[in-house]
Amino acid sequence: MRIKSLLRKAAEQGDTSGRLLSPTDIERPLALLLGRLPDAVMAAHSRRAPNELCEFAFALAQEFSRFYGACHILSESDLALRASRLHIAQFTLRELELLLGLLGIEVPERM
């Protein structure tokens, strides 16, 4: 996964600390989508529709790709912003791994 590679590179560079900042306009759509995970899981469960988890995971992956394309995370000169964006990437990875795990799909360490 692209996110794992990004986080690996950040760890190699020593970027493992910092806090999450209020989302910028570029980050806001991804942050809002990340916050919808509990509702998506509950809706899929109540409707007995695992395809909704697939659709949510796909939407999350698409939104991260848009975010990743718009932000130069590892080359960001503002260290606080860089750390915050790395946190967003970590949250996205956790949610994608959770969703795929619920669907019985193993996430490879490298692609």
The answer to whether residue 64 sits within a structural domain is yes
Q: Measuring CA to CA, which residue among 11, 22, 1, 15 is closest to residue 76?
A: 15
* pLDDT at position 97: 96
The answer to whether residue 109 sits within a structural domain is no
pLDDT in tens, 43-85: 999 999 999 999 999 999 999 999 999 998 999 999 999 999 9
| Rounded-to-integer distance, Cα 104 and Cα 100, Å | 6
Mean pLDDT score, 15-40: 92
* pLDDT at position 107: 82
The answer to whether residue 111 sits within a structural domain is no
Please check whether residue 6 is in contact with residue 93, taking contact to mean a CB–CB distance below 8 angstroms: no
Per the prediction, the chain carries an average pLDDT of 92
Residue 33 structural domain: 2-16+24-102
Number of domains in the chain: 1
Mean pLDDT score, 92-111: 90
* pLDDT at position 16: 65
CA distances from 97 to 25, 61, 63, 82, 94 (A): 25, 11, 15, 22, 5
